[in-house]
Structure formats: C-alpha cells, structure tokens
Amino acid sequence: RMKICINTGGGDAPGLNAVIEAVTMAAYNRQWEVYGIKSGYTGLLNTDEIIRLTPEKVDGIASIGGTILGTTNKGNPFSMPVCNAVGECELRDVSDRVMDNFKRLRFDALVAVGGDGSLEIAHQFAEKGMPVVGVPKTIDNDMGGTVITFGFDTAVSIATEAIDRLHSTAKSHDRVMVVEVMGRNAGFIALNSGISGNADVILIPEIPFDIEKVCDKLMENELNGRKYAIVVVAEGAVPKDGEAISKGEGEAGRQHVVLGGIADYVAKEISKRTGKDSRSMVLGHLQRGGSPTTFDRLLSLRFGAAAVRAIEAGKFDHMVALKSPDIALVPLAEALGIEKRVRTDGDTILTARDIGICFGD
C-alpha cells in the first residue's frame, strides 16, 4: 500500500484542482493513501498542515479555479528566507528538513505540480533521493518538453473574450485600444488571443517592435477605412529601442516595470505619433482566475492520472507531458533545459502575417 503526497507551487493556473482530483482518485482506486501538502514545499517544513485527500474532499473540484492546497512562489527550501526577531533575514538551505519530514511521514512519492521554478526544486529533491514526479503548469505555455501546459487555453480564452468586447467600444469612438496580456518571456497568450480576437497589431517578446511600424500600420488601416484598432501586447514585449526608453533600469523583458506598463507606453506613443485617441488596459490576473476550460480540465485530469501511473512504474525525476496525442514522461533535467518560445517562423506567426496582422518589425 503506497502513501503518496502532492503539492502545488508557483503562480496558480486553472486546472490545478483537476490535477489534484485525478491524482487523488487514481491513487484511491489503487488503494493508496494520498496527502495534500499546503503552500508548495513549505507544507513539508511545517507538517501540521498536511491534509488527507479523499474522494469526498476532491469531489467536483476539477471545474473550480485556483488550488485547494494553496501555493506560493516564495518557498524554495534550497534558498529560504529565514528571519530573526528584529526582522533581519538571510537565505538558508533547509532542504534537509524537508527530506527528513518526507521520510518521517513515510511518503513513497511526491507529485510536484508547478512551473519551471517548482519543477527545478523537484529535480533538486530527486537528486537528493526523493521519488518525485513532476506535472508542468504555466498559463504562459513557455515550458519545454510538453506541447502545451494546462492553464494556457483558459488564459487565451479569457483574453480573446476581452479583445472581442473591445472591438465595439473601440469602433464606436474610432479609438486605438491597447490591451496587455500576460507572458513575461513568451508571447503565446498574446499571439493566440490576438489572432483569434482579430487584432490589428500583436507585440510579443520574441519580435522586438518598432513603434513607427506600428503607427504606419494604423495609418494604413485608416486610409482603408478602418478607423479603430486593437493592439495586443504581451507584458514582456520590448521595443527595438528599449535601451533608450528604459533608461538602463531593469532587464529587457521587465522594462514595463520602469515605464508603468508596456501597454501604457504603446498607447501614449501611438497618440503622440498619430494623433489618434488611444486607451490602454492590463488584463492581469483575470487571465488566471476562475474555471478551467474543458480542454484544460481534461489535460489536467490526464496529467494527474499519468503522474500516478508514473509512480506505479517507478519512473521518478520525470514529468508528465503532452506529446500529442499521448501523455509521455520526460526527464525533468531535459525539460528544464528547454526554453520554449514562440517560433517566429512557425505557422501561427505565418497565419497572423497572412491575415494582415502587424508585429511592428
């Protein structure tokens, strides 16, 4: 009789609860015991918060957003801030305490659900001898080794719906609406929602943009009778002359922190250069909230069940991955070594260009 546990780490993504439900049910149906670790790895430091997961506990949670286990992106046991009474903090390696608790509680395996940060930690624990199976998660879809991660389809659907709604208000006022979507390092959400939502311009980190080219496109549209425009910009998009406008502060992909938002910058530049009335907005965490789409729900359930099969097969230090049409197991070290980005010669970009969308390049 196996005794396994599961945690969720990093930013939440729609589908996490579906993974928890599938892991619990697949384990229960093998007569295994399943426990939920609260708040990423921190629940293995303070073990009071470990909960038993049963069919009753997970019944119906697959359709609910967030994670019933809670999550954090500040809980790396290999580099944990430890503070004294006067608030002075230092980073310490407390991973041995996690290992000790894991062994003391007689867990046979951990299912670690998370993005590249959490799965890097999972891999480090695997190297210390913990039997771990990873489940990749990110709404940005920038994790290597898998065709797609859960949460992405939901984020794209929410962004597309928002863009759809912007058309009527933009058209009524002959305005340019600039909408910022998530995607720090990769432009998958911007690209997919921008194409689906009939955007005029899409700006992504993989294609540094020239604001003049963006303005040229809008003026060309105007001559053709389309007086309003929708510009979709990924939060990590960078202007070609980014150095100049960032005043040297911050790394390339985070210049918007300095600027008060890349969407704000783009909207102001468009107004200044074309005289067109422009507005900007940031969709932000709306893209991560609420129920997963059917696609994400199903993918999450498949990932969860496959993780339990991996444990049964003794296949540790691997993560489950979609290799269409099947779920495969990929070594964590291999998946973590891949930086997945939008392929600028891929067919999605070609589709966008074919239908007249401008990338500002």
Q: Quote the least distance from Cβ 238 to ligand F6P, whole Å.
A: 14
Q: Are 279 and 172 in contact (CB under 8 A)?
A: no
Annotated binding site: 11, 74-75, 115-118, 138-140, 175, 182-184, 235, 279, 285-288
Q: Please give the residue whose beta carbon sits closest to ligand F6P in the complex.
A: 182
Structure tokens at 258: 């300095």
Q: Is 102 exposed, middle or buried (0-12, 13-18, 19+ CB in 10 A)?
A: buried
Q: Quote the least distance from Cβ 137 to ligand F6P, whole Å.
A: 9
Q: Quote the least distance from Cβ 64 to ligand F6P, whole Å.
A: 18
Q: Are 150 and 14 in contact (CB under 8 A)?
A: yes
CA distance 270 to 186: 24
Query: In the stretch 199-238, what mask flags binding to ligand F6P with x, by CB under 6 A?
Result: ------------------------------------x---
CA distance 113 to 111: 6
Q: Quote the least distance from Cβ 69 to ligand F6P, whole Å.
A: 16
38 vs 137, which CB is nearer to ligand F6P? 137
Which position among 140, 153, 200, 296 is part of the footprint of ligand F6P (CB under 6 A)?
140
Residue 140 bears catalytic tag? yes
When asked if residue 240 is in the footprint of ligand F6P (CB under 6 A), the reply is no
Q: Which of residues 283-312 bind ligand F6P (CB under 6 A)?
A: 288
184 vs 227, which CB is nearer to ligand F6P? 184
Which position among 50, 119, 139, 218 is part of the footprint of ligand F6P (CB under 6 A)?
139
Which position among 9, 36, 70, 183 is part of the footprint of ligand F6P (CB under 6 A)?
183
Q: In degrees to the nearest 10, what's the CA dihedral of 204, 210, 215, 221?
A: -60
When asked if residue 268 is in the footprint of ligand F6P (CB under 6 A), the reply is no
CA distance 330 to 332: 6
Stretch that binds ligand F6P, among 30-38, 103-111, 180-188, 303-311 (CB under 6 A): 180-188
When asked if residue 138 is in the footprint of ligand F6P (CB under 6 A), the reply is yes
When asked if residue 182 is in the footprint of ligand F6P (CB under 6 A), the reply is yes
Closest CA to 281 of 166, 174, 172: 166
Which position among 9, 11, 187, 304 is part of the footprint of ligand F6P (CB under 6 A)?
11
When asked if residue 194 is in the footprint of ligand F6P (CB under 6 A), the reply is no
Which position among 30, 167, 184, 273 is part of the footprint of ligand F6P (CB under 6 A)?
184
Catalytic entry in 12, 59, 140, 277:
140
SS3 341: coil
CA distance 144 to 337: 8
Q: Are 340 and 183 in contact (CB under 8 A)?
A: no
The DSSP result for 28-83, as a single string, is HTTT-EEEEPSTTTGGGTSGGG-EE--HHHHTTGGGS-S-TT---SS--TTSEEEE
Type of residue numbered 146: T
CA distance 112 to 12: 13
Residues that bind ligand F6P (CB under 6 A): 11, 73, 138-140, 182-184, 235, 288
Among all residues, which ones are annotated catalytic? Answer: 140
